[in-house]
Amino acid sequence: MVNFAKFDRESALSNTTTSARQAAAHRNPWPGSVAVKSTGNAMQEKTRAKRKPVIKIAATDHAKLVSFAEAMESRNPEMAEELMLELDRAKVVADGSISADVVQMGSTVTYKPDTGEARTVTLVFPGDADIAQAKISILTPIGTALIGLATGQAIQWTARDGRSHELEIIEVRQPAAAGA
């Protein structure tokens, strides 16, 4: 098992707060993979050690989300760092060239979690989040997991209670254009 706490991430975290650096020292230093605790069962570990899928984010969303994550570092350093890790591994594309089946801010997403039936939610900034209206914040673990995924892609993500989950994107709908 790799000891991630010893991995030197100082250069990657030069602009983060001390608490964000401390929290990040205990996370997976390789953003494209999932950290796996050793259980002693090699077969289970091989199955669980999956690489995260390629994600695409429009340039405007990427810039807004980076600014937002930087602003959130002092209030919520762990979630800000998780969001930054996703943004760091994203392929940034021109706004007009992103496919309609890719989850963006404001997208309505239907996904199938490993825990039950399909759910439909809209991905929003925290100020617009409303669980009763199925609007989830980008700063939730599942919100961060959804950004940039396309229909048919699956991802493993870790809930706030530390449990690992997987979800698959079934459908993505974009908001109607302003004035349409």
- Residue 16: pLDDT above 60? no
For 28-61, the pLDDT digits (tens) are 433 444 443 434 544 444 444 567 899 999 999 9
- Beta pairing partners, 37: none
In angstroms, rounded to a whole number, what is the distance separating the alpha carbons of residues 177 and 180?
Answer: 5
Residue appearing with tokens 């989040």: 129
Per the confidence metrics, is the pTM higher than 0.75? no
Residue 6 backbone dihedrals phi, psi, to 5 degrees: -85, -10
Distance CA 116, CA 168 (A): 12
pLDDT digits (tens, 9 = 90+) for 67-119: 999 998 999 898 899 999 999 999 999 988 999 999 999 999 999 999 889 99
Q: What's the token pair of residue 14? A: 């030069």
**pLDDT of res. 158:** 86
Residues 56, 58: Cα–Cα separation, whole Å:
7
Residue 50's pLDDT is 64
Q: Which domains does the chain have, with CATH numbers?
A: 48-173 (3.10.50.30)
Pair 106, 114: CB distance under 8 Å? no
Within 8 A by CB and 6+ apart from 92, the residues are 56, 57, 58, 59, 62
Say whether pLDDT at 6 is over 60.
Answer: no
Q: What does pLDDT average to over the chain?
A: 78
Question: Residue 130 and residue 132: Cα distance in Å, rounded?
Answer: 5
Q: Tell me how far CA of residue 54 lies from CA of 45, 102, 105, 147, 153, in angstroms.
A: 22, 11, 17, 11, 9
Q: Which residues pair with 158 in a beta bridge?
A: 164
Rounded CA separation 77/143 (Å): 16
